[in-house]
Structure 1
């Protein structure tokens, strides 16, 4: 059994703690730590100390629940099977996969609270007076605010916003998706001049021009979605916006990042050539990505949770590094757990077979896995951050940037340029020429490069596959492109309106 602690944000922006045990029991404990703010428009806090906290708050993205679960479990790349009574948790995981969540879903509520509290934390940095932020600290805070607000806008299509100086009796105003888009864009543009350049020699755990450009690229790439009159589409991607994506990506590439010819080295401490923006490990680290999928008889002992879908695995060709490799260290020393997709017989560090302690049989992962009633060895497991040598958790990296650039090139009609970009990436990954490139192939290539890194939901929406069906997901309701506003937030802020379909 695993215990979780989550920040819980009241719409009045009171910060409390919620204890979440075994993914089922919710016991909120509220404090008024933010209710003591002054109402002057400034904040008597130390900007440097608050900025450190704002960075540490990125740890929320490394948990397997909440924010990450909304990006991955709702998509076609991951399934959270219930195995006997394991991972049943009153259906909290299954409803995400099946697209049957509602406004009371714990992970939806927790994510809303976590992200909005972090936006407010960045506001505190900018309003601090003891001492006030330096120009670079203010720029870093604006980048982080843009990063957090981007996710609120992406998940819910609207953003409640409160200035530090507003009293708790003032209901937060609500930014529309278009207003939030403009806010995020302006924060990034304002921050850019006072941020360090970035590059593989820089500190990837801190905001940089390269990180800001990577976020701008993602923002502009999805502009057709975010500014659509109907959140469910149809979407129009203007050439001018695609030019902005390409320019932002080129600015990142110009900072000196290079593709790693060993794909899984990217996720190790030794891999630095592609990392643009990462989390430093304070407040959360990538170990959750390891344990959430491994079987409890493997080393390290996992929680025997999540798997990929057989149809998703089938999109990978043999020879593509991204499909995975055996657990060999430096080509000779065996490490037991492999990299990428773990399918078939599993082994210990000494090379002997792992035995499933519940069945007494050799542990062999099978491709097919049902959402309900799964066996302990059903489902292909996925490892990117490997035991013992995983590096910082990655938010932006060069492979992400190159696939964004290629997509933008393709959408504006430059198929030859897009193919060249994709083929350069595939060459580094040990894969062959992509051949004739169209949007469907681009979508699949993006999935191969970025699987289990928290972007699949947004990609599926942009490419128009979100409302299709896949294994154990038959719901095609287009309103599911947005999550519901938590009922607790609606009850306390009359300026909020529920999203369609809830």
Structure 2
């Protein structure tokens, strides 16, 4: 039997979906592959590309932008009238006026479909290889195709089904799409390995994704209507959450921010994640995206500063304040903020070694302190240590204006200045980065154990209003952290929605949560659009144009 190994994949057969790119498919025939690759090498080489687009999908300006900036959590104004203008795409994303020409939507669409293409190539190639890992890899490839399909269903309201790269995909929506993704996950679960780590699709990862899929099924089958959460589907959520919890394989992290550290690949709370270890393919600016242009997290890199990107909205910040008033949320909830060294809040200059310099984490407010840079170099104390002190907007040519983050952030001149809005530093910057800025080796969380408890709690509420059991699940998560947040005394869907915000802010779950909880048509800072058609995004115009030779094949979503 003639053996073909597809390297680098893709495709012009998928170009009807992506809009044609310059990606090329190289087919290695039997002679060439036999001369250069063992079956083990071929199997390893064919599964790796299936995951390789995840870092691109989860890039701070792709999936993060459309899952967070479209919500009440994040806002990215036109900073100082000069930065992050980008033809208004971040303003449109936040105000729900996004269009089919949005480049972040296009890029996310392309990367998802490229990942799907690579999965299909692997599905067709792996059965021809006589390697011990081929069966597990085949299950992973098919499961990843289902995961990519789940993303297109959630974001764009459709799923593409094909078994060979050369075929034209069948398009499914609604109930059919949900059933397809579900059945694909169920088909691969028996053959997946339980112990491959968070960077690959494991049994636990598929259980978590099935729980998430069942929880959102009511939305996926009727995206513009009122969700009807079926009792049997909520039972399935509970069933798969129970499997994960009862497996004993995962553990809630006592240190909340350790979940997002640069060495989090072995954190026991992670179930499924984007593997970004430095020796692999990490390149995400999640740690820098929100910081000031005058915050420099790494003493070794005087050019690695923040981007003055998105801030949290005052609306989201007020949910924390209202929860814990009259106490400050930083005094009560370990998820809100962690101060790493007291020098940050010391108005006097201080001195610190490079290994002891660590940024504060969480939600950053008020006057900021850090490494002081003048004329391109960091100032040092007489003993050679780095000087830490009050920061000013030097990089913005405002050397007398403090970096003092304010609660107010909006699209007014004052509200879009460089210091407007409280910022978020959740993922840790990488000390192993080769550039100091562009490479991040923290795994980006897709599913973690806290979400399993929260999903189980939600399913119990939606099925039978079992508030007592739901409350217990939420309080398990709260109690797990060092200096735990006080236990809640009551539970409802509104309380749970707020609690999900506290636990998962900046983790790219907010848009999906808001739609499921009926909040996405609400009003928040600079957003009043209540159009239900905006629950899913427009299909990129490049994809519509690429499919124009197939009349009626790829129709634009309603309202675009």
Residue aligned with 1:337, SS = coil
In 2, Cα distance between equivalents of 1:328 and 1:187: 48
| Shift in alpha-carbon separation, 1:184–1:354, aligned structure 2, 3 A | same
In 1, Cα distance between equivalents of 2:164 and 2:135: 19
The answer for the alignment partner of 1:428 in structure 2 is 480
The answer for the alignment partner of 2:525 in structure 1 is 471
Structure 1 position 96, deviation (Å): 0.4
The answer for the alignment partner of 2:237 in structure 1 is 245
In 2, Cα distance between equivalents of 1:475 and 1:122: 37
The answer for the alignment partner of 2:121 in structure 1 is 124
Within-5 A mapping of 1:223-234: 223-228=217-222, 231-234=223-226
The answer for the alignment partner of 1:288 in structure 2 is 285
Residue aligned with 2:213, SS = helix
In 2, Cα distance between equivalents of 1:101 and 1:473: 12
Larger mean CA deviation between 448-457 and 7-16 belongs to 7-16
Query: Do 2:150 and 2:159's aligned partners in 1 also have CA atoms closer than 8 Å?
Result: no
In 2, Cα distance between equivalents of 1:315 and 1:265: 24
In 2, Cα distance between equivalents of 1:489 and 1:278: 28
Residue aligned with 2:312, SS = coil
In 2, Cα distance between equivalents of 1:285 and 1:367: 32
Q: Paired residue for 1:277, among 262, 266, 272?
A: 272
CA RMSD of aligned residues (A): 2.8
| Shift in alpha-carbon separation, 1:197–1:336, aligned structure 2, 3 A | closer
Q: Which runs of 5+ in 1 are unaligned?
A: 1-6, 18-27, 39-43
The answer for the alignment partner of 1:419 in structure 2 is 471
> Which protein is bigger by CA-based radius of gyration?
2
In 1, Cα distance between equivalents of 2:251 and 2:200: 19
Q: State the TM-score, normalized to the length of structure 1.
A: 0.87
In 2, Cα distance between equivalents of 1:16 and 1:419: 44
In 2, Cα distance between equivalents of 1:156 and 1:411: 25
Do structure 1's residue 338 and structure 2's residue 328 form an aligned pair? no
The answer for the alignment partner of 2:430 in structure 1 is 388
Do structure 1's residue 215 and structure 2's residue 209 form an aligned pair? yes
The answer for the alignment partner of 2:255 in structure 1 is 262
Structure 1 position 265, deviation (Å): 1.1
Structure 1 position 11, deviation (Å): 7.4
Query: Do 1:8 and 1:114's aligned partners in 2 also have CA atoms closer than 8 Å?
Result: no
Structure 1 position 372, deviation (Å): 5.0
| Shift in alpha-carbon separation, 1:458–1:37, aligned structure 2, 3 A | farther
Within-5 A mapping of 1:195-210: 195-198=192-195, 203-210=197-204
In 2, Cα distance between equivalents of 1:284 and 1:76: 31
Do structure 1's residue 401 and structure 2's residue 452 form an aligned pair? yes
Q: Paired residue for 1:185, among 158, 182, 185?
A: 182
Query: Do 2:11 and 2:117's aligned partners in 1 also have CA atoms closer than 8 Å?
Result: no
In 1, Cα distance between equivalents of 2:184 and 2:162: 16
Q: Which runs of 5+ in 2 are unaligned?
A: 1-7, 30-36, 298-304, 345-351, 372-386, 432-440
Per-residue CA deviations over 1:80-101 (Å, capped at 9, x if unaligned) read: 1111210001112111011111
Residue aligned with 1:382, SS = strand
Deviating 4+ runs (over 6 angstroms): 7-11, 35-38
The answer for the alignment partner of 1:310 in structure 2 is 314
In 2, Cα distance between equivalents of 1:408 and 1:284: 36
Structure 1 position 286, deviation (Å): 6.9
Structure 1 position 458, deviation (Å): 0.4
